[in-house]
Chains A and B, each alone.
Chain A
C-alpha cells in the first residue's frame, strides 16, 4: 500500500501546489515552477547513469555472447567508451586539462563532435527529403473528392514554394493577384492550415487539462506501473 500511497500523495500535493502557484505571485510561489523544473533536470541527469549503464550492459552482453548483429553493439560500446574517455580527460585540448572547457576548439571531443556527430545528425535529417518524396507519391492519390481537393492544395503549396509558382501565374493582371499561386499558397498556409491547426491545438490543450487532472487526483496511475 505504501508503494502506491506515498507516490500518489506526492503527485497530488505537488501537482495541486504548482497549479495554485500560477495564481500566486508572492515568493516562494513565484519561483516554484522554475525550481521544480530544475529539480526534474537534476533527476533526469542522474537517471542518465541508469540509461548509460543499461546501454553498456545490453550491448556488452550482445558482444560477449556473439549474438546476431553484435558488430553494431561493438561499435556502440567502442564509441561510447571512446568519447567518454576523451571528454573526461580533455584529451588533445590545446590549453590542457585545467584551463579550458571540454568543448574547446581543437580538442578531440570537439573533433568527434564536428566530424562524426554533426555529419551523422545532418545525414539522418537529410533522409527526410527522400522520405517526403516517397510518402507524397504514395499518399497523394485522387481516390475521391476529399482526396482530390487535398491533392490540389498540396500541388499549390509545393509549386508555390518555388519560383515556378510565381512564373506560372506571372501573366495574371494585378486585379487578379489573388489567383496567383504564391498568393494562394500563402493564404492556404496562413488561413486554412492555421485554422485547422488552431482547432487541433485547442483540442490538445483540453486533452492536457483532462489528463493532468486524472494524474493529479489519482485516477490515472500509469506512471506507477498500473493503469
Chain B
C-alpha cells in the first residue's frame, strides 16, 4: 500500500484548523530542493575498459605481457584508526586492449623490500587504488602491483616502506567540523543574545498553541488525557523531545486536575517519564495528584504496544491524545483509533514517512523540527528560544548553499568552463561526508 499524501489544510467539522501548513522557510527550502537535480554523491569508480574484439579461429601467437602499473606508491591510509595502508598506481602506459584484455590487478605485500611477496587482494581493471586493511601498526610493509592478463602478468616496481599508524585528527571531516562549529556558534550566539534582552520573533505553531485548549477540553468532559512518547528508547532524540513536552503537558494537567495516562514502550522511558511527570506535579503544587501507576510499561514489541494503547483508547475514550516522539507503521493505527473515539489529537514526529499519516488523521501535527522546537516554544525561556533562532540560521545556511550549489553546478554543466567545473566539484565534496 502506498503512503497517503498529506491531507488538505482547511476547516474541520469541529471548527478547529487542522494541520497548519508548514511555515514559509520550510516551503522555500522545499522549492529550492526541487531545483537540486544532482543525485547524492558516491565514490568515484574509474570506467571499465571497452570489450575486446572477438578472437579469430586460427591459433594466435602468444600475447605480449601487459605493461606494468606505473608510479606505484604505498603510504599509511590517512585519517584512520590505523592498520591500513593505501596503495595507489597509475593506469598502464599502453592501451589495455593491446594483446588482450586486462583481468585486473593483484596486490602483493612483503615485510622486506626483497620479499617474499604474498597476494593480499585483487582490484578490478581500471582501479587505481587498493586499501590493505590486514596490517599491523608500526610495521614497515612493501608492495607491488601485478597487472594480469589471461596467460601473462607483469609486476610493478616495489613501493614502500609504508608504516600504518593511527592518526589523531580525521582531516577528511574538516567540512563537517566547520559546519558543526558554525551551527553550534549560531546557537550559542542567539542563546546569549536573547538572554541579554534580545526579542526573537517565533511564529505561532498551531499544535502547541492548542495544548491548553486540548487539556481544558478533557477536563470539561471528565475524560483522561493520553500521551504516547513514541516507541523508541531514551537514546533517540525524538523521545527526549517527547518527554520534554510531556513535562509541560503534565504541569498543565496538574493545574487543571485532569487525569494523565502515559503508556510506554520502553522501561527506561517509563522511569524517565515518571520522574518528569512527578516533578511537573510538584512544581504545579499538586504532589498529591500524582499517580505513578498512570505511567506504565506495556511491551517493547511494536504492534503489541499499539494493540495495548488502542485497547486503552477504545475502553477509556480519552478526550485528548498526544503523540510525540518516534513512530513507525503504528502511527496511522493510533491516529485513526483516536479519530474514531472523537478525541482531539496533537501529533509530532521527526519520521518523514509517518508525517502524512498524522497530518491526515490528527487535528494538529508538529512537522519534523517543530517537535524539537516545542520544548523551547512551550517554556518561553530565553535560553531555549535562542536555540530555535540557531535552527533558523542553520536553515538559512542550507538554503544559501543550495542556491549556490545549484547555480554553480548548472552553469558548469551548461558552459563546460573548467574553473566552474572545479568549483562545482568543490561544492559537491564540501557537502559530502566520509562515513566509514
A: residues with CB less than 8 A from B are 19, 22-27, 30, 37, 40, 43-44, 47-52, 54-55, 58, 69, 72, 120-121, 124-125, 127-129, 131-132, 134-136, 138-144, 146-148, 150-151, 153-154, 157-158, 161, 191-192, 195-204, 206-215, 219-220, 222-227
Contact bitstring B350-390, A, C-beta under 8 A = 1, else 0: 10100101001100000111011101100101011001101
Most B Cβ at <10 Å: residue of A19, A204, A222: A222
Known: A151-B8, A210-B394, A220-B244. 17 other contacts (CB 8 A): A22-B173, A25-B166, A51-B270, A54-B267, A55-B296, A125-B303, A135-B360, A139-B8, A144-B8, A146-B21, A154-B4, A199-B32, A202-B29, A204-B368, A213-B387, A220-B240, A222-B246
- Closest 7 interchain pairs by CB? A147-B8, A51-B267, A207-B372, A139-B7, A225-B275, A207-B369, A124-B303
Given contacts A195-B34, A213-B387, A222-B375, contact A227 B332 (CB under 8 A): no
Q: Is the CB of A219 within 8 A of B296?
A: no
**Assembly CA distance A158 to B3 (angstroms):** 9
Given contacts A44-B266, A195-B36, contact A26 B167 (CB under 8 A): yes
- Cβ of B33 under 8 Å from chain A: yes
Return the chain B residue nearest A55 by Cβ.
Answer: B297
Chain B at the A interface: SS class: helix
Q: Is the CB of A25 within 8 A of B311?
A: no
Given contacts A153-B5, A226-B247, contact A207 B391 (CB under 8 A): yes
Contact among B36, B270, B311 for A50, CB-based, below 8 A: B270
Return the chain A residue nearest B11 by Cβ.
Answer: A143
- Cβ of B44 under 8 Å from chain A: no
User: In the complex, how many angstroms separate the beta carbon of B360 from the nearest chain A beta carbon?
Assistant: 4
B301 / chain A contacts, CB cutoff of 8 Å:
121
User: In the complex, how many angstroms separate the beta carbon of A125 from the nearest chain B beta carbon?
Assistant: 6
User: In the complex, how many angstroms separate the beta carbon of B307 from the nearest chain A beta carbon?
Assistant: 6
Most B Cβ at <10 Å: residue of A19, A54, A125: A54
Chain A at the B interface: SS class: helix
Given contacts A202-B29, A206-B369, contact A222 B4 (CB under 8 A): no
Tally B residues with Cβ within 8 Å of A: 106
Given contacts A121-B303, A211-B387, contact A139 B360 (CB under 8 A): yes
- Cβ of B79 under 8 Å from chain A: yes
**Assembly CA distance A50 to B371 (angstroms):** 28
- Cβ of B255 under 8 Å from chain A: no
**Assembly CA distance A34 to B183 (angstroms):** 25
Q: Is the CB of A195 within 8 A of B30?
A: yes
Task: Give B311-335 interface residues, CB cut-off 8 Å to A.
Answer: 311, 315, 329-330, 332-333, 335
A134 / chain B contacts, CB cutoff of 8 Å:
336
Return the chain A residue nearest B28 by Cβ.
Answer: A199
Q: Is the CB of A204 within 8 A of B240?
A: no
**Assembly CA distance A198 to B26 (angstroms):** 10
Q: Is the CB of B361 within 8 A of A200?
A: no
Q: Is the CB of B170 within 8 A of A23?
A: yes
Q: Is the CB of B235 within 8 A of A40?
A: yes
B384 / chain A contacts, CB cutoff of 8 Å:
214, 219-220
User: In the complex, how many angstroms separate the beta carbon of A127 from the nearest chain B beta carbon?
Assistant: 6
Given contacts A23-B170, A25-B81, contact A195 B361 (CB under 8 A): no
Q: Is the CB of A23 within 8 A of B332?
A: no
User: In the complex, how many angstroms separate the beta carbon of A124 from the nearest chain B beta carbon?
Assistant: 4
Most B Cβ at <10 Å: residue of A24, A124, A150: A124
Return the chain A residue nearest B278 by Cβ.
Answer: A225
B8 / chain A contacts, CB cutoff of 8 Å:
139-144, 146-148, 150-151
Q: Is the CB of A208 within 8 A of B372?
A: yes
Given contacts A69-B315, A226-B279, A227-B379, contact A203 B333 (CB under 8 A): no
Q: Is the CB of A199 within 8 A of B191?
A: no
Q: Is the CB of A206 within 8 A of B395?
A: yes
Most A Cβ at <10 Å: residue of B188, B267, B300, B329: B267
Q: Is the CB of B268 within 8 A of A47?
A: yes
Contact among B184, B271, B276, B333 for A222, CB-based, below 8 A: B276
User: In the complex, how many angstroms separate the beta carbon of A158 from the nearest chain B beta carbon?
Assistant: 7
User: In the complex, how many angstroms separate the beta carbon of B75 from the nearest chain A beta carbon?
Assistant: 16
Given contacts A23-B170, A40-B235, A44-B266, contact A135 B4 (CB under 8 A): yes
**Assembly CA distance A223 to B242 (angstroms):** 10
Contact bitstring B252-275, A, C-beta under 8 A = 1, else 0: 000000000000101110111001
B279 / chain A contacts, CB cutoff of 8 Å:
225-226
Return the chain B residue nearest A76 by Cβ.
Answer: B308
Return the chain A residue nearest B351 by Cβ.
Answer: A204
Q: Is the CB of B367 within 8 A of A227?
A: no
Q: Is the CB of A51 within 8 A of B297?
A: yes
